[in-house]
């Protein structure tokens, strides 16, 4: 049992020394500023689970923004305040992040609206949170240092591995919590508590998710992309009839699930040839596999992923047919593959690799290998030394060399130079 246990020693054991020291400092600053400060949310939950987590979430009984400003000064970092909500985000110079909230109550004017803020206490602040396991606090002031504060039996739910909302209207007030419940369920291998699940199902049936802004849905989805059990979360979203409500454009087919499940083994051969790949972007590319350009465009329009994501998703959808046709062709010169592939992101190339049958996969690997090996040795500088007048012709020559190299037409410096000379005499004759 956790009850009565003081968590100071547990924090010390689990957290990196500099994080623990900082929490001690925060407690001391809270005392000197005469405000009550609590560690809340995910870090408390993970401490109890014995998992390291360094994202600090603080609740201040008093002026959260003033306290945040003081912390930013003492711990050295930048602060971003949201006066209207009494919240602040601290980005410390040591790389750590601290979220600060002012203890408050919230009421919702209508479902899925932004919360309206009033003053209140810790208990009320915790009550408006998503689940009991996320609604515990640890005292940081001298008098309650390390003490667990658990108004809603979060500890007991943690032990019983249950995701439970705090009040019946929770999902109505904030339907994104439905998505969050699944994320935590699959992350910790917990179960959504029976009543909570029923309330979720009811809110889903009554189309409450449709009231959430695209941006908030996107934010929750991006969090899922970072989860280790992402695929299990996807499956559960589909099973609970949520998927089509949040991503109507991108159907989650068994085929796509199969690709997602085999990403790691499929890509192992490619990673050394390709370089870094953003797994979130790769997942999105795979999710777009069955969608035509129009659907991908509609999804991008609604969600506005990052600039890079939008570009890559659109380009891939646009070139899909052409690339598959090219890969299926017989005796396609490497330079032809290069023409289409040279501007593709690593994620797109890996995507095509994953969804292609074996012979095409071999072509992609072969291309990537040759692209690394067959690089012209003659450079712009050399062209100058050869006495060629700088101008657009440089680009033409270098491009020609790249093509000739890739296709194995030239294999040495001497051959490159004779190719250039040949090319120039032809030019002159025209």
Which pair of tokens denotes residue 154?
Answer: 């979060």
Two tokens, residue 206 = 């009554």
Based on CB atoms, which residue is closest to ligand ATP, 128 or 289?
128
Query: In the structure encoding, which two tokens stand for residue 42, read together?
Result: 């995910």
Closest to 1 (Cα-Cα) out of 156, 193, 157: 156
DSSP 64-99: HHHHHHHHHHHHTEEEEEEGGGTEEEEEETTS-EEE
Q: Least distance to ligand ATP from the beta carbon of 129, Å? A: 4
CB of residue 323 vs ligand ATP: minimum separation in angstroms? Answer: 36
CB of 395 to ligand ATP, least distance (A): 49
Beta-carbon contacts of 414 under 8 Å, excluding residues fewer than 6 positions away, are none
**Of 117 and 135, which has the nearer Cβ to ligand ATP?**
135
Nearest position to ligand ATP, beta carbon: 42
Shortest distance in whole angstroms from residue 155 CB to ligand ATP: 15
C-alpha closest to that of 32 among 146, 138, 140, 148: 140
Cα–Cα distance, 202 to 195 (Å, whole number): 11
Question: Of 152 and 351, which has the nearer Cβ to ligand ATP?
Answer: 152
Q: What's phi and psi for 6, nearest 5 deg?
A: -95, 135
Q: How far is CA 194 from CA 111, 163, 203, 343, in A?
A: 23, 9, 14, 51
Smallest gap from Cβ 176 to ligand ATP, in A, equals 5
Nearer to ligand ATP, 115 or 333 (CB): 115
Q: Name the minimum Å distance from CB 151 to ligand ATP.
A: 13
Residue 55 or 427 having the CB closest to ligand ATP: 55
Measured distance CA(133)–CA(290) in Å, rounded: 38
- Minimum gap (Å) between residue 182 Cβ and ligand ATP: 12
H/E stretch holding 351: helix 346-355
Instruction: Write down the least CB distance from residue 47 to ligand ATP, Å.
Output: 12
Name the residue nearer to ligand ATP (CB basis): 59 or 327. 59
391 near 372, Cβ under 8 Å? no
Nearest to 187 by CA among 40, 7, 42, 39: 42
Indicate the residue among 101 and 397 with the shorter CB distance to ligand ATP.
Answer: 101
Q: Are 312 and 348 in contact (CB under 8 A)?
A: yes
Question: Contact residues for ligand ATP (CB under 6 A)?
Answer: 41-42, 55, 57, 129-130, 134-135, 174, 176-177, 180
Rg for the chain, CA atoms, rounded: 28
């Amino acid at each position: 049992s956790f009850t009565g246990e003081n968590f100071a020693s547990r924090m010390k054991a689990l957290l990196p020394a500099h994080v623990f020291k900082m929490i001690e400092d925060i407690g001391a600053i809270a005392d000197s500023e005469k405000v009550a400060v609590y560690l809340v949310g995910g870090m408390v939950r993970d401490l109890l689970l014995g998992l390291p987590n360094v994202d600090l979430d603080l609740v201040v009984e008093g002026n959260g923004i003033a306290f945040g400003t003081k912390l930013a000064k003492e711990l050295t970092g930048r602060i971003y305040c949201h006066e209207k909500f009494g919240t602040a985000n601290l980005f410390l110079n040591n790389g750590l992040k601290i979220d600060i909230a002012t203890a408050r109550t919230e009421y919702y004017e209508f479902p899925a609206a932004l919360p309206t803020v009033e003053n209140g206490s810790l208990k009320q602040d915790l009550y408006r949170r998503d689940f009991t396991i996320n609604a515990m606090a640890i005292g940081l002031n001298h008098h309650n240092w390390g003490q667990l504060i658990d108004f809603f039996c979060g500890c007991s739910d943690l032990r019983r591995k249950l995701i439970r909302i705090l009040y019946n209207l929770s999902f109505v007030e904030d339907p994104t919590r439905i998505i969050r419940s699944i994320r935590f369920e699959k992350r910790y291998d917990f179960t959504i508590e029976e009543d909570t699940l029923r309330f979720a199902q009811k809110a889903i049936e009554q189309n409450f998710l449709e009231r959430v802004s695209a941006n908030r849905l996107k934010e929750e989805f991006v969090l899922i992309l970072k989860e280790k059990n992402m695929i299990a979360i996807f499956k559960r979203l589909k099973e609970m009839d949520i998927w089509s409500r949040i991503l109507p454009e991108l159907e989650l087919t068994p085929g796509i699930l199969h690709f997602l499940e085999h990403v790691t083994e499929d890509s192992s051969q490619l990673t050394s040839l390709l370089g870094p790949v953003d797994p979130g972007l790769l997942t999105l590319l795979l999710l777009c596999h069955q969608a035509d350009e129009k659907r991908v465009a509609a999804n991008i329009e609604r969600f506005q992923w990052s600039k890079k994501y939008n570009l890559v998703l659109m380009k891939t959808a646009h070139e899909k047919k052409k690339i598959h046709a090219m890969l299926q062709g017989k005796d396609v010169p490497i330079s032809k593959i290069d023409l289409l592939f040279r501007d593709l992101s690593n994620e797109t190339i890996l995507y095509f690799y994953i969804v292609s049958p074996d012979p095409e996969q071999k072509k992609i690997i072969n291309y990537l290998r040759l692209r690394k090996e067959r690089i012209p040795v003659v450079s712009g500088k050399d062209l100058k030394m050869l006495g060629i007048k700088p101008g657009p012709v440089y680009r033409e020559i270098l491009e020609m060399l790249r093509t000739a190299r890739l296709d194995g037409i030239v294999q040495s410096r001497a051959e490159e130079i004779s190719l250039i000379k040949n090319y120039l005499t032809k030019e002159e004759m025209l």
